Amino acid sequence: MSSSIIMARGFRVPDKRTGNEVLNSTFDQDNYPVWASYNGLITSSGTTHSTNTFGGIASWLHYSPIFNQSYLASHIGNLFYNVHDLEPHMTDSFTAYGFPRSIKVYGAQNWYDFMSAGITNDDVQRGDGVYGEHYDGGDSRTMNHTVYNPSFTGNTAHAAATYGGTNGVANQCWTHSTAWAQNISVPDNATTCKFGGYIKVDQNDSFSGANWGGIYVAQTYTEAANTAYGYPSGASIFVRNVNYFGVRNSDQNWTLPTGTFGGDNFGDRFASMQWGGLKAGIGNSSTTIPYWNHNKVVMNQHAFLNSEDHRSFSPVEYSFTLQSGTNRDIQIGIFFAEHTDRIENNVTGNTGGFDVYDPYVEFS
């Protein structure tokens, strides 16, 4: 892979990666949505200069479970930086010029509760018992990660809990307050997926507390339910299979669960509270990708990197074996995982941010 422009501090803006399946990976179509937008709205690959509230990013899907303007529109925390400039990179403006850009995602630091008719953000129980694809934001899960051991012996990270107060679990959980995703068709003969990109955590805007960020690749699919676990004959299990890496401050040593959970009519609830989001594939709408509430999750963690090791852009790459089959889709996502303890307790100050340039997916 050749390089074109030499950057300060050693970063080089590379030529666009050959074989990259991610569209608009350098965000050079000058889209700049802010504050709020629609979850799962399909923004055309040819869109340019889509700016301001309710805007989109060409080929990318917005996702956040924190609704901050209406029962349809949820939080956007992102900035774009002109990476053709020397570091420190300057933020891009709405009047842009088609240069390659990096994206920074950051947190909400506020539940913005009761701003959306019928939707409460500060609600661990939201969406409990709703599985499969759906289009109702009021049934999207607010918890995307928890450190709690899923043994269910005294496990408080479930639908009977609250984020704050009695049985509060805010300090055990994270929500994807800002995420951008893209669904990609998998060639029928592909067996392996490689994913990565250039990442940075600016030392002047590092993660606050237990906040973190990362990139994931997910597949969503159904399996036949096992009647031995109490499921009726013909029932389906809704699965989300995730490969990811995370970046956090080196003083954070909590551990997220990995492996397979749910699908047994016992771990369903715990599984549904990990990696909630949009379906990796189309639904019954031509304009919007549906939400996906799963009751089985497969979590494959490739690494937790130290933010201090990525103060300037550096490449990160991982690979995994795809689920077999045909007519498959995967979803790549860039996300900011915000510690719900900081939201619940109205902690002030910047959340910190996670910067990505030229994210990619390749199949073999």
pLDDT tens column, 84-111: 877 778 898 887 788 899 999 999 999 9
Residue 59 buriedness (CB in 10 A; 0-12 / 13-18 / 19+): buried
State how far the Cα of 311 lies from the Cα of 196, in Å rounded to an integer.
17
The reported pLDDT for the residue numbered 18 is 85
> Cα–Cα distance between 353 and 326 in angstroms, integer?
37
pLDDT value of residue 31: 95
Would you say residue 159 has pLDDT above 70? Answer: no
Number of CB atoms found within 10 A of residue 10's CB: 10
Q: Give the C-alpha distances (Å, rounded to integers) separating 87 from 83, 95, 177, 311, 316.
A: 8, 20, 27, 11, 20
Distance CA(266)–CA(295), nearest Å, equals 10
Contact 109, 347 (CB under 8 A): yes
Six-digit token string for 218: 């997910």
Nearby residues of 225 by Cβ (< 8 Å), 6 or more positions away: 231, 232, 235, 236, 237, 263
Residue 98, number of CB atoms within 10 A of its CB? 11
Higher pLDDT, 331 or 165: 331
Q: Which residue has the higher pLDDT, 69 or 210?
A: 210
SS3 assignment, position 138: helix
User: How does residue 316 score in pLDDT terms, banded at 50, 70 and 90?
Assistant: very high
The reported pLDDT for the residue numbered 14 is 75
Q: Per-residue pLDDT for 148 more than 80?
A: no
> Is the pLDDT confidence value at 289 over 60?
yes
At residue 225 the predicted structure's pLDDT band, cuts being 50, 70 and 90, is: very high
69 CB neighbour count, 10 Å cutoff:
17
Q: What integer pLDDT is reported at residue 267 of this predicted model?
A: 82
pLDDT at residue number 12: 64
**Average pLDDT score over residue span 128-143:** 94
Higher pLDDT, 150 or 328: 328
Q: Hey, which residues does 297 pair with through a beta bridge?
A: 240, 261
CA distance 73 to 148: 30
Please report the pLDDT score of residue 141 as a whole number.
94
Sign of the alpha-carbon torsion through 350, 122, 213, 153: positive
Report whether pLDDT(73) > 70.
Answer: yes
CB environment 282-317: b (16+ within 10 A), e (fewer): ebeeeebbbbbbbbbbbbbbbebbebeebebbeebe
Task: Give the span between the Cα atoms of 363 and 139, in whole angstroms.
Answer: 33
What mean pLDDT is predicted for residues 137-154? 78
The answer to whether 290 touches 132, Cβ cutoff 8 Å, is no
Angle at 24 between CA 22 and CA 27, to 5 degrees: 130
pLDDT above 70 (res 155): no
How would you label 14-31 residue by residue, b for 16+ Cβ within 10 Å and e otherwise? beebeeebbebbbbbbbb
> What confidence tens digit (pLDDT) does each residue in 262-288 have?
998 778 888 999 999 999 999 999 999
Q: What is the mean pLDDT of residues 11-36?
A: 89
Q: What distance in Å separates the CA atoms of residue 86 and residue 101, rounded to the nearest whole number?
A: 12
Which helix (H) or strand (E) segment holds residue 88: the answer is none
